[in-house]
Structure 1
Amino acid sequence: MSTWHPISRPAFWRRWLPEWSHLPVKIAFQLSLVGLAVFSGIAFFYFMLAMRFDMAEVAKLPAGTTFYDRKGVEISAPGGSGRKLVKRSDIPDFLVKSLRAREDARFFEHSGVDVRGLLRATVRNFKDWDFTQGASTVSMQLARNSFKMKQKSIHRKLLEIALTLRLEANYTKDEILTHYLNRIYFGAGADGIEQAANTYFGKTTSELSDGECALIVGIIRGPHIFSPFRNLDAALEQRSQTLDRLIAMGLIDKKRRDEIAAEPVKLVSEEQRATQTSYALQAVRRELDRVLDSDEIQLGGLHVYTTLDAGWQNRLEVELTRAVEDLEHEKGWTHSTEAAHVPGTEPAYIQYAAVTTETRTGATLALIGGRNYSHSRFDRTRSSRDLGSAFEPFVAAAAAERGKLVLPGKPVLTGRQIGPAEVERLAKRCGIAGPFLKTEDLFRGSVAATPLEMSIGLATLGNKGKRAKPYLIREIRDSVGEVIYTAKPELVQALSPNAASDATSVLARSGGTRCFTGATGSERDAWTLRLGPGGATAIWLGFDKPAAIAREPRLKSLLDEFVQRLGNN
């Protein structure tokens, strides 16, 4: 008895494809199933990993940056303005358009991840064999910022994508945009859009003009590089690029672009800037912008350990103020003693600036940019003033370097042995930039320098001729305590140890220190140089609008008393 078996028909794809292709197609199909399974497994893994993060963190106020002195004591100063949050209703529509044009053109269309942009970036990264392109949307940047992910890796990128999808599921587009603008760093110490609007333009966010919106959005990609305070031309170029993108997207026409580009940029004056709280912290903030990427600063919660010695800085400020007040109380003082002048007018009262540099490392131990930060935020440690006889140590150093005789108190005779060109060369090696005269007047001190340059130069003489690069930040830790930056002292041999030692012989001895106090020939600037066992201090006294000071009674004796009160440390 026979058994009937149905004839099996070949699969649909076999009937339509040539026989030679059957095996490759089968293999490809099986591989696609494996790939789908692997993709599903990876997606599930990162979805579960993303579930561990609290989405409520996105809406919370990010932690600020905390600064410490060299002993780990937190540095604080009155009058600082903290991060301020805005609502969506406070954000001008043109700011939103500018942000889309500059950062994320399809923000309102994609689901948090711009697949087309991501594929383009992936291809580019494979070509470069590096993470040169990120294709981050605004939502992805917010996720990265909120959950402090800074490492560049495939794992971080996949987790960032998973978190972005969760973020999009939990917040509306308007909420994402608002949280993003409240979190990011805009340079010049401004955290968030409200503080940025006030810092740069003295306005609230809602008051920003179209031109100001385009400029402030242009800052985002390089808060330090494109800050209008630092480089207005670069900031204006970023504004132009933003406006060009708006035209390309059809959000404005060329006529409107030209109108916006013609808007005058009205930045707040130096006197009105209130994002910093002291001259020293202002300088630390500048250095922070240089040493960290903006993404790392935006993460918030940074702990910045500076080189500043808060005790020494306070002592220097107190004694300087006392010396200046004593000078103002002298009989015959002809200048104003009113410190609370009206911002924007010429200060009529005496000013001072001081920098102390640790001789062996270049670390800045103290920085005082003026008499009262709340009255004037102009940092005088970076302003060049005439040196006069304060330049003599560098004339002596140049002569000693060439094996010539150093004649204390006779800089012209000392300098004539080698000539102005040699003195200029040596002074530049010690950190003084010039410009320099090409005549013998150079030996008499016809050259200008900043207190910072003088402190570095003096430290070079006290460090056996080794010039150190100045720095204010020794270490930075993130919010979980991980070290993300450590400073390394950089030293260059500027002159021989013997020449450096001979140069200090022109400074007067005061206990364990070498000192100079005196004024320029024009009688408009007074200098105090102090080379102690561990630090070199340069102090300038004078008026913002140059006026005679040296002819006032007892100037030199008061400065000598000031040096004596500082002691030998």
Structure 2
Amino acid sequence: MLPFLHKLRDRWRRFPTWLRRLGGACTILLLIGLVPLGIVWQHYASRASTYDMEALTRGQNETLIVDVRGELIGSASEIEREPVTLQNVPQHLILAVIATEDARFYSHPGFDLVGLTRAAVANFTSKGIRQGGSTITQQLARNAFGLQGRTYERKLTEIFLAMRIEREHTKDQILTHYLNRIYLGHGCSGVGAAARCYFGKDVRDITLIESATLAGIIKAPVAFSPITQPKLARQKRDLTLKRMVEIGAITEAEAAVAIDQPVVVRYDKTRVRTGYMLAAARAEFQRMGLKPGTPPTMSMTPRLDWQHRLDDMMRQHLDALAPKDKNGLQGVVIVLDNRTGAILAMQGGRDFTTSPFNRALEGIRPPGTALLPLVYAAALTLEPDVTDAPMIDGPLDNKQAMIGGLVGTLGEWGADGEPVTYTGGTITPMQALLEGRTAATVRLGYQVGLDPLRAALSRCSFTTPLRTEAAFTLGQSHAHLMELARAFTAIANEGRPCAQPHLLLSSSSARSDEVFTPAAASHVRNTMISGMTRPEYRKPLVEHKLAKKSIAGYGGITYDRTDAWFIGSDRVLTCLVWIGHDKDIPIGPKATAATVALPLWAAVFEMVTAGQPKGWDAKASSPKLLAVPLRALPVEDEVRVPAIPPASTVVLGNDPYRAAEATAAPVVP
């Protein structure tokens, strides 16, 4: 050792004195510089050691929502994620990402000195931070640990975190984390979700051209989106292909063939076309107190293919009804399991992209005469003896109902067939229900008692209050659409509504309390079954192979024709359809439930029952009149309405508000 040092000293002395002094000075300066460098190194290394490396996978733990048959719908969070393994990612996608983001990924220790030098020069000349020179590992660190801002402090922290990641993980692990975390626009995080969003396919099936497109938009996925900015996306794709040639990933011939091809986007609208359903499922997931990733998968009650068809049905139906409607005619479909409350299909409006408000869950509209089956079920529950009792079938002073005002004669608007005429005699409550008679319904309400009837209806768990006037018996109180659909399941389910409606499958399904007696529900249901044979209902039912089925259905409309409804059930499920505007705008002067709501209901019911609904054993016979009609009184304006005496002293519905002298008065509506 000593001889070696002596030789080194002799060689040093052979250098000129000025050179030896310069070398000594440089050595001293280097040693002095190493001290602060060591301090800085220790500071940032210590800072990097405080970060929890579990953050690399924390954002990737996602609960995926699938339909009842296991088909993927989306994720439980607002950001779409579809975690992938590196083995399922095509090699050309991996090479495209490396070519455009970090060509020396497999050789650097977490940071690329060449890239950092190039970025430093660019930042110096621009007098600010314009480039970062970040490697894939640095980008992963920035994304996973939420490092924000364009400062040297953040950059140094990012570099030291990248070095730590490289020490503790393999290159393949780092690349997997990166591919599952990068944001690629349109709510997609990771290449799995992006491949499905942009190209409608699993990531393992995407082509070289599609891989280059995804890699090309990484730096600015919004600005270079192939959906909204196809020209810019193509430019970035072509640049990626050229870089793949430079690193030897593909040949020039392969690149030339790919560059000649257009960017073909098969935008998977599943996330949009099931927007109402998916948004509601996400909200329900949060209410359940669950965290993304626990459990990894949750099943929804609807079927994805039904939702796709339902979306098309809704658009086509509304366009046919009002092709030039500038007020935005909307529609709602709700299909419930009569017992479990599972939402089997749901459409919250015409188009989620333009109107994400979910009317099925949050909408509140007046049911109009569509409420009558519930009113009669409540009345028969309170007083079973009125089932076959005679009721006056004649005009009614509007003071009893207060529909649209205080004066005039309450008109008949609930029936869908020919203009309603009074018999001039008596009818049974079931006949009044069958024909949607408004005057008879109000009389029944007074006979049973408005307060008891209101309380009985409230047992259906309506969260909106019922009006204090008799107008509530004619559906003039607003109700949530989902609550109305649930209440109707009690008609099909022997007086018990279904469990609380839900979209996500869970082990709990508490049984509901009885709101109607089984006998009352049966009487109303049989009447609804009979009502399905009405001539005005025949065409859509025949078209959808439902005309000969024992289905309990009922249509209704508000007196000003702003809302049209059809609700029907078999033994298994109940389907509600609503058509109207978000504001009180008439659908049309001649709108009826049969023409506006029934056609869509029939199409949906055929779909969800496969054309084979599980109806009841036999059709009910139509309720008969208890008295031969004395005369028919058309409901028209400017008609003097004579008083109609009851057929006997036991007839229900004596009118305490009937004027001593009937005078000409306007009809409402």
- TM-score interval, smaller chain: 0.3 to 0.5
Larger-gyration structure (1/2): 2
Could you state the TM-score of these two structures normalised by the residue count of structure 2? 0.41
